[in-house]
């Protein structure tokens, strides 16, 4: 089982101050990695550091806007100065704006694309030279079911995540010969603080309509948890996945494979 170990590996997880990113970062430290993360402000870095410390996890954070190429280059340079090239990059930072396409401003559309697609390009671009010099590397992009499907009010998010899927495949194509693997994880509907309002009981005690809808569309008949993503994330970051490249691993309880129940 040594091939699943991350002992001594340098990992950078973007947007890992909470939720999915925090859970993946936690799993990497448990597997032996040296962890770095970023957040959008010094205050969020301090809050995240406190959460990591409470969980017994050693981590170092940077206040870095991953949409800012100069700031990203500086963050990666500081990591390399301390511990050498980044072995594992997880592009997790992202946003969503749920607005009907005809009502969405171009500014909001660009903000989502800049964060969910351009930023992963910038961070991957910054770590790739070090990975090439080192002779290996793992890049994991957090994609989405919206890399495959459309839905009302998420035109910008779906466009960005669809693009991120293709960026994943192109990094594989362009840098696979350097022993660099780039894959994606496509989470299903995950129970986090952001999705909590969609799972709250209604005033009459009934389940939220969206909660019922998601469970009915998922063969596992439940929401995913952040812990469900830890094993796949460790696998794709480890030597066990050295011949896996350009793939998107959907961790969705089977929702993408399922046409849904026949109406009664």
Catalytic residues: 157
C-alpha 222/C-alpha 227 separation (Å) is 14
Is the distance from CB of 211 to CB of 36 less than 8 angstroms?
no
- Which residue bears the tokens 């509907």? 189
**What token pair was written down for 193?**
């603080």
- Terminal Cα distance for the chain, rounded: 47
C-beta separation of 85 from 133 below 8 A: yes
* CA gap 208, 199 in Å, rounded: 6
Q: Tokens 């590397």 identify what position?
A: 137
By CB atoms closer than 10 A (0-12, 13-18, 19+), residue 80 is middle
CA dihedral 95, 84, 73, 97 (to 10 degrees): 0
The beta strand positions in the chain, using DSSP E, are: 10-13, 34-39, 59-63, 88-91, 137-142, 180-187, 248-251
- How do strand 88-91 and strand 137-142 relate by DSSP bridges? parallel
What's the rounded Cα separation, in Å, for the pair 220 and 239?
A: 29
């Amino acid at each position: 089982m040594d091939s699943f170990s991350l002992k001594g590996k340098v990992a950078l997880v973007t947007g890992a101050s909470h939720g999915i990113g925090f859970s993946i970062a936690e799993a990497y430290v448990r597997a032996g990695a040296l962890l770095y993360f970023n957040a959008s402000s010094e205050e969020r870095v301090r809050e995240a550091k406190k959460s990591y410390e409470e969980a017994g996890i050693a981590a170092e954070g940077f206040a870095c806007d991953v949409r800012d190429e100069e700031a990203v280059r500086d963050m990666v340079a500081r990591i390399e100065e301390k511990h050498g090239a980044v072995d594992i990059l997880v592009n997790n930072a992202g946003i969503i704006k749920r607005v009907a396409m005809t009502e969405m401003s171009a500014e909001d559309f660009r903000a989502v694309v800049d964060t969910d697609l351009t930023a992963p390009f910038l961070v991957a671009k910054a770590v790739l030279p070090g990975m090439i010099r080192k002779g290996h590397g793992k890049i994991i992009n957090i994609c989405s079911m919206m890399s495959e499907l459309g839905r009302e009010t998420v035109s910008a998010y779906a466009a960005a995540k669809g693009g991120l899927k293709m960026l994943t495949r192109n990094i594989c194509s362009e840098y696979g010969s350097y022993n660099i693997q780039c894959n994606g994880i496509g989470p299903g509907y995950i129970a986090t603080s952001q999705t909590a309002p969609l799972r709250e009981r209604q005033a009459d005690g009934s389940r939220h309509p969206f909660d019922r809808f998601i469970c009915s569309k998922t063969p596992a008949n439940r929401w995913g948890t952040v812990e469900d993503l830890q094993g796949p994330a460790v696998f794709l970051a480890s030597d066990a996945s050295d011949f896996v490249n350009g793939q998107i691993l959907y961790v969705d309880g089977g929702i993408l494979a399922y046409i849904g129940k026949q109406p009664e």
